[in-house]
Amino acid sequence: MKVGSTQYRSIWVEDGAVRIIDQTRLPHEFCVVTLDTTAQAATAIRDMWVRGAPLIGATAAYGMAIAMREDASDAGLKRAHDVLMQTRPTAVNLRWALEDMLAHLAPLSPADRADAAMARAAAVADEDVAINAAIGDHGLAVIRAIAARKSGPVNILTHCNAGWLATVDWGTATAPIYKAHQAGIAVHVWVDETRPRNQGAHLTAWEMASHGIAHHLITDNAGGHLMQHGQVDMVIVGTDRTTARGDVCNKIGTYLKALAAQDNKVPFYVALPSPTIDWRAQDGVAEIPIEERAGDEVSFVQGKLADGTVTRLRISPDATPAANPAFDVTPARLVTGLITERGLTPATAAGLAALFPERVGS
């Protein structure tokens, strides 16, 4: 997507170097970083310079490619896989990308691995862009149908950032929004701030503002009230891992939005690229590992002072400890539909299996 007049992806290769946008600096600074080492790629994922399930997967793929320049032996391959796998536990795209890279590289001789790894990582990134564009087309049909039934803009609530910054391009939840905007359909987005790290306030709001899409930032607790008053036509969120039967794990707070949506008969859609399906898991609440992040993310907020200085501020007493589960699981029964690159399906085992028969049990 465009930043100013320049077309960007969230990860790219320039003069042989892997580059990313440091998302911890947005929205106040746009800062490009080069990833030179495997350790740096791991830090970029763990410390959330990059984040969002698809981008975590793409960065892990490029991390393997960087690792093959350092040590392309069998031991080096295994070490890179293990180091990157430890970075963040919830997004299954990480495992998916690392297993994909291993399957491609392991049969090759070490001398061939560096070039092959870079080519495969680029293919993973390109595939993500194509998947998200297709999700956008299928989601556009849903938005178009809602627009046809009402006057005024289609009001869409989203949580966290499942935007182009969370993927290689387009975003998942935002792809239908961008496509609708491009098609001339009036959309208005309610952007949940998404505590504790405020990915909504920092990233989704920045994306919407950059693309001229009408939006308002809201507190995480405002969604239910807006739904009760008919001000939300649909919810679209992303997912970090969706089980084979359609349970959806996404940023903490997603579950509460789904509960409020059901109580108010607001359709609740999840934009789901197929690499985010964990075919080995059924019961999301019981089986998906939920990342527990540092309490400091809750106790501090980052923002800009009136004089322009970007800083962190403590918002709680020094002695108060904080707990920080980073994701929650929305049971399939609360999900109206999954928007995948192959079309829309109910959040059921049968629905997912019908769309991706070759992946069942993988």
**Contacts of ligand MRU in 85-104 (CB under 6 A):** 91
Structure token digits, residue 274: 């197929």
Question: Is residue 127 at the binding interface for ligand MRU, with CB under 6 A as the rule?
Answer: no
Told to judge if 240 belongs to the known catalytic residues of this protein, a careful annotator would answer yes
CB of 241 to ligand MRU, least distance (A): 9
Q: Is 18 left (phi over 0), alpha (psi -120 to 50) or beta?
A: beta
Closer residue to ligand MRU (CB): 27 or 238: 238
Taking the C-alpha atoms of residue 5 and residue 350, their distance in angstroms, rounded to an integer, is: 44
Helix, strand, coil in percent for the chain, rounding step 5: 45, 20, 35
Interaction of residue 242 with ligand MRU, rule CB under 6 A: no
Query: 185: how many CB neighbours lie within 10 A of its CB?
Result: 18
Phi and psi of 267, rounded to 5°?
Answer: -65, 135
* H or E stretch covering 236: strand 234-237
- How far apart, in whole angstroms, are the C-alpha atoms of residue 227 and residue 223? 6
- By CB under 6 A, tell whether 54 contacts ligand MRU: yes
Nearest to 315 by CA among 325, 328, 327, 303: 303
Report the nearest approach of ligand MRU to the CB of residue 297 (Å). Answer: 10
26 binds ligand MRU (CB under 6 A): no
Q: Which residues of 157-169 are buried (b: 16+ CB within 10 A; e: fewer)?
A: bbbbbbbbbbbbb
Residue with tokens 């009402």: 150
Q: Between 11 and 91, whose beta carbon lies closer to ligand MRU?
A: 91
Q: Does 176 bind ligand MRU (CB under 6 A)?
A: no
Catalytic residue among 169, 192, 220, 240: 240
Instruction: Out of 239, 243, 274, 330, point to the residue binding ligand MRU (CB under 6 A).
Output: 239
| Closer of 198 and 299 to ligand MRU (Cβ) | 198
Identity of the residue numbered 65: A
Binding mask 254-293 for ligand MRU (x = CB under 6 A): ----------------------------------------
Counting contacts by CB under 6 A, is residue 200 touching ligand MRU? Answer: no
What is the SS3 assignment for 303-347? EECCCCCEEEEECCCCCCCCCCECEEEECHHHCCEEEECCEEECC
Among 128, 193, 207, 240, binds ligand MRU (CB under 6 A): 240
Q: How far is the CB of 230 from ligand MRU (least distance, A)?
A: 25
Considering CB under 6 A, how many residues would be counted as binding ligand MRU?
A: 17
Q: Which residue is nearest to ligand MRU (CB)?
A: 238
Query: Considering beta carbons, is residue 24 or 282 the nearer one to ligand MRU?
Result: 24
Q: What are 257's two structure tokens?
A: 């939005």
- Which listed range, 97-105, 108-116, 235-243, 278-286, lies at the site for ligand MRU (CB under 6 A)? 235-243
Among 27, 52, 57, 139, binds ligand MRU (CB under 6 A): 52
Among 59, 87, 155, 167, interactor with ligand MRU by CB under 6 A: 167
Among the residue ranges 36-44, 49-57, 149-157, 311-319, the one whose residues contact ligand MRU (CB under 6 A) = 49-57
Contact between residue 202 and residue 166 where contact means Cβ atoms under 8 Å apart? no
- Of 167 and 243, the one with the shorter C-beta distance to ligand MRU is 167
Q: Which stretch binds ligand MRU (CB under 6 A): 50-58, 60-68, 185-193, 294-302?
A: 50-58
C-beta atoms surrounding 317 within 10 Å: 7
Q: Which of 162, 177, 261, 288 binds ligand MRU (CB under 6 A)?
A: 162
In whole angstroms, what is the distance from residue 129 CA to residue 135 CA?
Answer: 10
Question: Of 183, 184, 187, 132, nearest to 157 (Cα)?
Answer: 187
Q: Residue numbers of the site for ligand MRU (CB under 6 A)? A: 51-54, 91, 160, 162, 166-167, 172, 199, 238-240, 250-251, 326
Question: Which residues are known catalytic residues?
Answer: 240
